């Protein structure tokens, strides 16, 4: 039998430190096994990480995001890359999270150091396909200008 796993300050500090030491400036802490039908994970995020605009096309891939620490900016895009919506997600703030339906282009920008996120969506994990990546957004190389543009929505 498994034991419960607690989301405490020591885990949060470890995730933030791990993110700070990763080249991508984010670190995933999986709560699920690869074969489980529900993906659950905690993520430590630092402000220089780039979460590229993307969408999930499978009908069962709604994505639930809850901020446990720090501040994130959520951007929702139209098909051409225009920003349709922007929302501040902040632990202890007015809005803590979002449930994103399948098919919607979205991205996150990290607005505070040591931010922490809980993510849940249907499994199993599948890498993004080319159809799910936003064709108008850069991949994870030379993204500083685009990331700065995205963060500008939250100045």
Give yes or no for residue 142 having a pLDDT over 90: no
143: region left, alpha or beta (phi > 0 left; psi from -120 to 50 alpha): alpha
9-125+145-154 classified as CATH 3.40.50.300:
no
Give the β-pairing of 51-54 and 105-110: antiparallel
Give yes or no for residue 40 having a pLDDT over 70: yes
Tens digit of each residue's pLDDT (9 = 90 or more) over 58-115: 999 999 999 999 999 999 999 999 999 999 999 999 999 999 999 999 999 999 999 9
Q: What is the pLDDT of residue 1?
A: 63
Query: Taking the domains of the chain in order of start, what are their residue ranges?
Result: 9-125+145-154
Report field, pTM of the whole predicted structure over 0.75 = yes
Place of tokens 């994130």: 72
């Amino acid at each position: 039998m498994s034991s419960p796993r607690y989301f405490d300050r020591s885990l949060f500090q470890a995730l933030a430190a791990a993110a700070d030491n990763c080249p991508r400036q984010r670190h995933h802490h999986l709560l699920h096994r690869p074969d489980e039908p529900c993906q659950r994970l905690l993520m430590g995020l630092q402000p220089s990480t780039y979460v590229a605009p993307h969408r999930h096309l499978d009908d069962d891939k709604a994505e639930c995001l809850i901020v446990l620490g720090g501040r994130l900016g959520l951007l929702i895009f139209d098909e051409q890359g225009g920003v349709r919506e922007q929302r501040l997600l902040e632990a202890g703030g007015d809005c803590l999270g979002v449930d994103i339906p399948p098919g919607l282009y979205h991205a996150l920008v990290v607005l505070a150091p040591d931010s922490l996120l809980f993510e849940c969506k249907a499994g199993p994990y599948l890498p993004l396909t080319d159809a799910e990546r936003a064709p108008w957004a850069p991949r994870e190389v030379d993204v500083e200008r685009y990331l700065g543009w995205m963060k500008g929505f939250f100045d």
